Protein backbone atom coordinates (compact mmCIF):
# COMPACT_ATOMS: atom_id res chain seq x y z
CA UNK A 1 0.00 0.00 0.00
CA UNK A 2 1.25 3.46 -0.90
CA UNK A 3 0.03 6.62 0.80
CA UNK A 4 0.59 10.05 -0.74
CA UNK A 5 -0.16 13.37 0.94
CA UNK A 6 -0.23 16.02 -1.75
CA UNK A 7 -0.62 19.77 -1.12
CA UNK A 8 -2.65 22.60 -2.63
CA UNK A 9 -0.71 25.42 -4.28
CA UNK A 10 -1.27 29.01 -5.32
CA UNK A 11 0.36 30.20 -8.55
CA UNK A 12 1.34 33.38 -10.41
CA UNK A 13 1.47 35.68 -7.30
CA UNK A 14 0.70 38.59 -9.60
CA UNK A 15 3.62 39.15 -12.00
CA UNK A 16 5.05 35.57 -11.90
CA UNK A 17 2.70 34.29 -14.60
CA UNK A 18 3.23 30.56 -15.32
CA UNK A 19 6.37 30.61 -13.14
CA UNK A 20 5.91 31.35 -9.43
CA UNK A 21 4.00 29.31 -6.87
CA UNK A 22 3.46 28.72 -3.14
CA UNK A 23 2.81 25.41 -1.40
CA UNK A 24 -0.08 25.46 1.11
CA UNK A 25 -0.96 23.48 4.24
CA UNK A 26 -4.07 21.93 2.65
CA UNK A 27 -3.89 18.38 1.32
CA UNK A 28 -5.45 15.59 -0.72
CA UNK A 29 -4.71 12.09 0.61
CA UNK A 30 -4.26 9.21 -1.80
CA UNK A 31 -4.02 5.45 -1.11
CA UNK A 32 -2.84 3.11 -3.84
CA UNK A 33 -2.97 -0.70 -3.70
CA UNK A 34 -1.84 -3.16 -6.35
CA UNK A 35 -4.60 -5.68 -7.16
CA UNK A 36 -4.92 -8.79 -9.34
CA UNK A 37 -6.66 -6.92 -12.17
CA UNK A 38 -8.78 -3.94 -13.27
CA UNK A 39 -8.71 -0.35 -12.04
CA UNK A 40 -11.01 0.86 -9.28
CA UNK A 41 -11.10 4.51 -8.16
CA UNK A 42 -12.95 5.59 -5.03
CA UNK A 43 -13.24 9.37 -4.54
CA UNK A 44 -14.46 11.24 -1.53
CA UNK A 45 -14.60 14.95 -0.78
CA UNK A 46 -14.60 18.20 -2.65
CA UNK A 47 -16.36 18.84 -5.93
CA UNK A 48 -15.18 15.84 -7.88
CA UNK A 49 -17.39 14.46 -10.62
CA UNK A 50 -17.17 10.83 -11.52
CA UNK A 51 -15.59 10.45 -14.94
CA UNK A 52 -14.45 7.40 -16.93
CA UNK A 53 -11.24 5.93 -15.53
CA UNK A 54 -9.24 6.71 -18.66
CA UNK A 55 -10.11 10.43 -18.21
CA UNK A 56 -9.28 10.54 -14.49
CA UNK A 57 -6.30 12.92 -14.24
CA UNK A 58 -4.66 11.11 -11.32
CA UNK A 59 -4.86 7.78 -13.13
CA UNK A 60 -3.57 9.37 -16.37
CA UNK A 61 -0.60 10.73 -14.39
CA UNK A 62 0.10 7.27 -12.90
CA UNK A 63 -0.07 5.73 -16.37
CA UNK A 64 2.43 8.28 -17.73
CA UNK A 65 4.92 7.10 -15.07
CA UNK A 66 4.23 3.41 -15.78
CA UNK A 67 4.83 4.07 -19.51
CA UNK A 68 8.04 5.98 -18.73
CA UNK A 69 9.29 3.13 -16.49
CA UNK A 70 8.16 0.39 -18.92
CA UNK A 71 6.42 -1.39 -16.00
CA UNK A 72 2.82 -1.68 -14.97
CA UNK A 73 0.86 -3.34 -12.12
CA UNK A 74 -1.76 -6.03 -12.91
CA UNK A 75 -4.52 -3.99 -11.31
CA UNK A 76 -5.01 -0.97 -9.05
CA UNK A 77 -7.30 0.25 -6.32
CA UNK A 78 -6.98 4.00 -5.78
CA UNK A 79 -8.68 5.91 -2.96
CA UNK A 80 -8.67 9.72 -3.12
CA UNK A 81 -9.75 11.99 -0.30
CA UNK A 82 -10.01 15.46 -1.81
CA UNK A 83 -9.82 18.52 0.40
CA UNK A 84 -8.58 20.87 -2.32
CA UNK A 85 -11.47 22.59 -4.11
CA UNK A 86 -11.37 21.83 -7.85
CA UNK A 87 -11.13 24.48 -10.61
CA UNK A 88 -10.75 27.36 -8.15
CA UNK A 89 -7.09 28.26 -8.75
CA UNK A 90 -5.71 26.29 -5.79
CA UNK A 91 -3.73 23.71 -7.74
CA UNK A 92 -6.19 20.80 -7.68
CA UNK A 93 -5.07 19.50 -11.10
CA UNK A 94 -1.38 19.80 -10.14
CA UNK A 95 -2.19 17.83 -6.96
CA UNK A 96 -3.81 15.05 -9.05
CA UNK A 97 -0.86 14.92 -11.45
CA UNK A 98 1.90 15.06 -8.81
CA UNK A 99 -0.03 12.74 -6.43
CA UNK A 100 -0.51 10.17 -9.21
CA UNK A 101 3.06 10.39 -10.48
CA UNK A 102 4.71 10.24 -7.05
CA UNK A 103 2.43 7.32 -6.06
CA UNK A 104 3.15 5.40 -9.28
CA UNK A 105 6.88 6.05 -8.98
CA UNK A 106 6.88 4.73 -5.39
CA UNK A 107 5.81 1.34 -6.83
CA UNK A 108 8.92 1.05 -9.02
CA UNK A 109 11.20 3.88 -7.84
CA UNK A 110 12.80 4.53 -11.23
CA UNK A 111 12.33 8.27 -11.73
CA UNK A 112 14.11 11.08 -9.86
CA UNK A 113 12.28 14.23 -8.64
CA UNK A 114 13.42 16.30 -11.66
CA UNK A 115 12.13 13.63 -14.07
CA UNK A 116 8.76 13.67 -12.31
CA UNK A 117 8.72 17.47 -12.39
CA UNK A 118 9.32 17.58 -16.16
CA UNK A 119 6.79 14.83 -16.87
CA UNK A 120 4.20 16.59 -14.67
CA UNK A 121 4.86 19.95 -16.33
CA UNK A 122 4.36 18.44 -19.78
CA UNK A 123 0.98 17.14 -18.62
CA UNK A 124 -0.05 20.39 -16.84
CA UNK A 125 1.64 22.58 -19.52
CA UNK A 126 3.09 25.09 -17.01
CA UNK A 127 5.28 24.47 -13.94
CA UNK A 128 3.93 27.14 -11.55
CA UNK A 129 1.72 24.75 -9.52
CA UNK A 130 3.47 21.40 -10.05
CA UNK A 131 6.87 22.63 -8.77
CA UNK A 132 5.71 23.88 -5.33
CA UNK A 133 3.32 20.91 -5.09
CA UNK A 134 6.25 18.48 -5.44
CA UNK A 135 9.00 20.50 -3.74
CA UNK A 136 7.18 22.72 -1.20
CA UNK A 137 7.89 26.34 -0.27
CA UNK A 138 7.98 29.28 -2.67
CA UNK A 139 9.26 28.28 -6.10
CA UNK A 140 10.22 30.07 -9.29
CA UNK A 141 10.29 27.80 -12.35
CA UNK A 142 11.32 28.11 -15.98
CA UNK A 143 10.21 25.46 -18.50
CA UNK A 144 11.94 25.09 -21.90
CA UNK A 145 9.40 22.59 -23.24
CA UNK A 146 11.50 19.63 -21.99
CA UNK A 147 12.99 20.35 -18.57
CA UNK A 148 12.10 22.55 -15.62
CA UNK A 149 14.77 24.67 -13.96
CA UNK A 150 13.59 25.94 -10.59
CA UNK A 151 14.68 27.63 -7.41
CA UNK A 152 12.98 26.99 -4.05
CA UNK A 153 12.89 29.09 -0.90
CA UNK A 154 11.42 27.98 2.42
CA UNK A 155 8.78 30.27 3.90
CA UNK A 156 8.55 31.23 7.57
CA UNK A 157 5.40 30.98 9.69
CA UNK A 158 5.27 34.77 10.15
CA UNK A 159 3.20 34.97 6.94
CA UNK A 160 0.02 33.10 5.88
CA UNK A 161 -2.19 33.03 2.81
CA UNK A 162 -5.78 34.28 2.97
CA UNK A 163 -8.05 32.99 0.19
CA UNK A 164 -11.53 34.00 -0.93
CA UNK A 165 -13.30 31.90 -3.54
CA UNK A 166 -16.84 31.75 -4.87
CA UNK A 167 -18.86 28.54 -5.28
CA UNK A 168 -18.58 28.94 -9.07
CA UNK A 169 -15.80 27.20 -10.97
CA UNK A 170 -13.41 28.61 -13.58
CA UNK A 171 -11.20 26.28 -15.59
CA UNK A 172 -7.66 27.37 -16.44
CA UNK A 173 -8.41 26.66 -20.13
CA UNK A 174 -11.33 29.08 -20.11
CA UNK A 175 -9.41 31.72 -18.13
CA UNK A 176 -6.55 31.54 -20.67
CA UNK A 177 -8.89 32.38 -23.56
CA UNK A 178 -9.08 35.97 -22.21
CA UNK A 179 -5.31 36.51 -22.63
CA UNK A 180 -3.96 38.44 -25.62
CA UNK A 181 -1.64 36.75 -28.11
CA UNK A 182 0.82 39.68 -27.92
CA UNK A 183 1.69 42.18 -25.20
CA UNK A 184 3.66 45.42 -25.41
CA UNK A 185 7.37 45.65 -24.60
CA UNK A 186 6.40 48.16 -21.89
CA UNK A 187 4.08 45.66 -20.15
CA UNK A 188 6.65 42.85 -20.44
CA UNK A 189 9.31 45.10 -18.86
CA UNK A 190 6.84 46.10 -16.11
CA UNK A 191 6.29 42.44 -15.21
CA UNK A 192 9.99 41.58 -15.36
CA UNK A 193 10.71 44.39 -12.87
CA UNK A 194 7.84 43.41 -10.58
CA UNK A 195 8.78 39.70 -10.63
CA UNK A 196 12.34 40.57 -9.62
CA UNK A 197 11.07 42.85 -6.84
CA UNK A 198 8.73 40.09 -5.63
CA UNK A 199 11.49 37.47 -5.36
CA UNK A 200 13.76 39.92 -3.58
CA UNK A 201 10.94 40.96 -1.18
CA UNK A 202 10.13 37.35 -0.23
CA UNK A 203 13.79 36.32 0.07
CA UNK A 204 14.57 39.35 2.25
CA UNK A 205 11.29 39.14 4.22
CA UNK A 206 10.59 42.73 3.11
CA UNK A 207 6.86 42.08 3.12
CA UNK A 208 5.94 45.77 2.96
CA UNK A 209 7.12 45.71 -0.67
CA UNK A 210 4.55 43.07 -1.65
CA UNK A 211 1.70 45.50 -2.41
CA UNK A 212 3.77 46.98 -5.25
CA UNK A 213 5.65 43.77 -6.14
CA UNK A 214 2.40 41.80 -6.74
CA UNK A 215 1.16 44.18 -9.45
CA UNK A 216 0.80 42.57 -12.86
CA UNK A 217 0.02 43.59 -16.43
CA UNK A 218 0.16 40.23 -18.23
CA UNK A 219 -2.93 38.37 -17.01
CA UNK A 220 -4.88 39.94 -14.12
CA UNK A 221 -6.22 42.97 -16.07
CA UNK A 222 -7.54 40.66 -18.81
CA UNK A 223 -9.09 38.17 -16.39
CA UNK A 224 -10.76 40.79 -14.24
CA UNK A 225 -13.97 40.68 -16.27
CA UNK A 226 -14.39 36.99 -15.34
CA UNK A 227 -13.83 37.71 -11.62
CA UNK A 228 -16.68 40.10 -10.72
CA UNK A 229 -15.60 41.43 -7.29
CA UNK A 230 -11.83 41.34 -7.85
CA UNK A 231 -11.12 45.04 -7.27
CA UNK A 232 -13.49 45.23 -4.31
CA UNK A 233 -11.93 42.16 -2.65
CA UNK A 234 -8.40 43.53 -3.21
CA UNK A 235 -9.57 46.72 -1.48
CA UNK A 236 -11.03 44.71 1.45
CA UNK A 237 -7.75 42.79 1.77
CA UNK A 238 -5.75 46.02 1.82
CA UNK A 239 -7.98 47.68 4.41
CA UNK A 240 -7.77 44.56 6.61
CA UNK A 241 -3.95 44.77 6.60
CA UNK A 242 -2.77 42.36 3.86
CA UNK A 243 0.78 42.85 2.62
CA UNK A 244 -0.20 42.14 -0.99
CA UNK A 245 -2.99 40.48 -3.00
CA UNK A 246 -3.29 38.65 -6.32
CA UNK A 247 -5.44 36.37 -8.45
CA UNK A 248 -4.48 32.81 -7.43
CA UNK A 249 -3.52 30.87 -10.58
CA UNK A 250 -6.15 31.56 -13.20
CA UNK A 251 -8.78 32.25 -10.51
CA UNK A 252 -11.43 32.60 -9.35
CA UNK A 253 -9.67 32.46 -5.94
CA UNK A 254 -8.31 35.81 -4.75
CA UNK A 255 -5.33 35.43 -2.42
CA UNK A 256 -3.47 37.72 -0.03
CA UNK A 257 -0.27 37.35 1.96
CA UNK A 258 -0.96 38.45 5.51
CA UNK A 259 0.99 38.69 8.79
CA UNK A 260 0.11 35.50 10.72
CA UNK A 261 -0.03 37.36 14.02
CA UNK A 262 -2.94 39.47 12.64
CA UNK A 263 -4.87 36.40 11.46
CA UNK A 264 -7.86 36.76 13.85
CA UNK A 265 -8.47 40.49 13.36
CA UNK A 266 -7.90 40.10 9.60
CA UNK A 267 -10.50 37.28 9.37
CA UNK A 268 -13.02 39.25 11.42
CA UNK A 269 -12.74 42.34 9.25
CA UNK A 270 -12.82 40.45 5.92
CA UNK A 271 -15.80 38.29 6.96
CA UNK A 272 -17.75 41.36 8.14
CA UNK A 273 -17.14 43.14 4.85
CA UNK A 274 -18.03 40.03 2.81
CA UNK A 275 -21.20 39.30 4.76
CA UNK A 276 -24.21 38.77 2.51
CA UNK A 277 -21.97 37.68 -0.38
CA UNK A 278 -21.63 34.04 -1.34
CA UNK A 279 -17.89 33.51 -0.80
CA UNK A 280 -15.75 30.97 1.02
CA UNK A 281 -12.92 32.40 3.13
CA UNK A 282 -9.94 30.57 4.60
CA UNK A 283 -6.40 31.15 5.84
CA UNK A 284 -3.61 28.62 5.25
CA UNK A 285 -0.05 28.33 6.45
CA UNK A 286 2.72 27.38 4.01
CA UNK A 287 4.24 23.91 3.59
CA UNK A 288 7.98 23.69 2.93
CA UNK A 289 8.09 19.94 2.36
CA UNK A 290 5.80 19.38 -0.64
CA UNK A 291 4.47 15.95 -1.54
CA UNK A 292 5.02 13.22 1.02
CA UNK A 293 4.91 9.52 0.10
CA UNK A 294 5.01 6.40 2.32
CA UNK A 295 5.19 2.75 1.35
CA UNK A 296 3.43 0.63 4.01
Binding positions for ligand HSE, rule: CB under 6 A? 11-12, 17-18, 126, 128-129, 172, 175-176, 219, 249-250
Task: Answer left, alpha or beta for residue 111, where phi above 0 means left and psi between -120 and 50 means alpha.
Answer: beta
Pairing relationship of beta strands 254-259 and 279-284 according to DSSP bridges: unpaired
C-alpha to C-alpha distance for 43 and 88, rounded to whole angstroms: 19
Note the Cα 6 to chain centre separation in Å: 11
Three-class SS state of 293:
strand
CB of 254 to ligand HSE, least distance (A): 14
C-alpha to C-alpha distance for 164 and 252, rounded to whole angstroms: 9
CB of 170 to ligand HSE, least distance (A): 10
Nearer to ligand HSE, 76 or 126 (CB): 126
275: exposed, middle or buried (Cβ count in 10 Å: 0-12, 13-18, 19+):
exposed
CB of 126 to ligand HSE, least distance (A): 5
CB of 52 to ligand HSE, least distance (A): 24
Nearer to ligand HSE, 47 or 208 (CB): 47
Nearer to ligand HSE, 42 or 188 (CB): 188
Nearer to ligand HSE, 138 or 266 (CB): 138
Nearer to ligand HSE, 10 or 76 (CB): 10
CB of 89 to ligand HSE, least distance (A): 7
CB of 133 to ligand HSE, least distance (A): 10
Residue 230's nearest CA partner among 251, 208, 258 is: 251
Nearer to ligand HSE, 169 or 176 (CB): 176
C-alpha to C-alpha distance for 275 and 152, rounded to whole angstroms: 37
C-alpha to C-alpha distance for 192 and 132, rounded to whole angstroms: 21
Amino acid sequence: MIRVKVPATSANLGPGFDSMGLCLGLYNEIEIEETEGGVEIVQDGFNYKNCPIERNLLYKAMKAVFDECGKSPKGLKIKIESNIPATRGLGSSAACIIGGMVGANAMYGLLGPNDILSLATKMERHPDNVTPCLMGGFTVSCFDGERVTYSKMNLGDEISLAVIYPDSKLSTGKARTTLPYKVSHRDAAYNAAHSALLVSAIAGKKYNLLAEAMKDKLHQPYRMKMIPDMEEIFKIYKEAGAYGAYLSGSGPTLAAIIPTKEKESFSKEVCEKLSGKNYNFDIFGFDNMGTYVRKL
